[in-house]
Amino acid sequence: MTDDGCPYESRARDWETLDSGTLRIAMVGLGWWTRAQAIPAVERSNFCETTVVVSSSAETAAAVEKQTDSVETALTYEAFVDGEAIESYDAVYICTPNARHLPYASAAADHGKAILCEKPIEATTERADQLIRATEDVPLMVAYRMQTDPQVRRMRELIATGAIGDPVGVHGHMGQQLLDVVSTDPDQWRLAPELAGYGATVMDLGIYPLNTARFVLDADPVSVTAQMHSVDQAFCDVPDQHATFTVKFDDGTYAACTASQHAHRSGHLRIVGTSGELVLESTFLGQSSQQLTVYRPDGRSLDINDGRGDVFGDEMTEEFDYFADRVLGENPIYPNGEHARTDMQTLSAIYTAAKDGVEVSIM
């Protein structure tokens, strides 16, 4: 306990309602993230099982089926849309390029299946609206994995209980070396506007500090400013190899965020209050351990332990089990499509602000 009576240990799975149950999942899109992160996360989960895999390539789907003991069926996208093997899964996880979320979410909804869709929800606000309308009769969750992270949830609690006074400012950053990926994958979809959407960096990386700040503050953006530019030839079709943006939230808090696809791999989130500070680092990265620290007015600091080790994939396992808990327990889902739509409006405004050099209001 802290001296003001505030417990500083994170509370694991404050959302869990299930004692047992299994949600059978079809993995739609078998890129690196699905194969290396999502499928192993489901294998570690308590309430999920991968039973179907779906790819543009029948050979890729068959190979993943062979490598994954729980998988019963391998499908092409066309077979999935046509409704093959719908009796073999209860829900879908969609991890395709952004602009291909809509058709597979629509197909899943037509089949009556719950949906966990990677973020951002689509490539543009207009397509996001179409997806939300198409899935209104089935459970839809958008995969903001930080929102089920125990330390992020503890940040939200600490802010709500006044542990750092009134929030004043947010500093957030995420960076990585996409050029290292491009060297082995010259057709990297994040660099194709028709697949990625408004850009390559704020859409892919900047959304992490943006959405996590929204969650921990329990606030929404009202206006943004931004600057961005691209240098390397690989980024010639997108405006934002490097980007910075500011956000004004409806609670009066301001955020300053940076993101880069050609930078040292790092991430942090800092919430400054009138009587303290919360710092989470290294975060957003998944592959590295993170630490939440509370800085107090008297100069002391407290590290908040969430009880986990340095095991990659914990955030994804929490996310999948939370999704299963919501679907199997018929509990309300958050973050839902409307929550994700606000991010899409904000992302659009950030790119407009950078292009026009003006402050843009969020409608």
Last residue of a domain, which of 145, 163, 183? Answer: 145
Total count of domains within the chain: 2
295-340 per-position pLDDT tens digit = 998 889 999 876 555 433 478 999 999 999 999 999 999 999 999 9
Residue with tokens 């929204």: 214
Q: What is the CATH number of the domain that holds 239?
A: 3.30.360.10
Reference 30, options 86, 81, 68, 85; nearest CA is 68
Separation of alpha carbons 159 and 113, rounded Å: 36
| Residue 91, domain CATH | 3.40.50.720
137-185 residue pLDDT tens: 999 999 999 999 989 999 999 999 999 999 999 999 999 999 988 777 7
Instruction: Please indicate, yes or no, if residue 45 is contained in any of the structural domains.
Output: yes
Which residues fall within 8 angstroms of residue 327, CB to CB, at 6 or more apart?
A: 23, 90, 91, 114, 139, 333
In order of 27, 29, 56, 82, the CA distances from 75 in angstroms are 10, 10, 9, 10
Residue 219: CB partners within 8 Å, gap ≥ 6?
213, 249, 250, 251, 253
- pTM equals 0.95
Domain that holds residue 160: 150-305+336-361
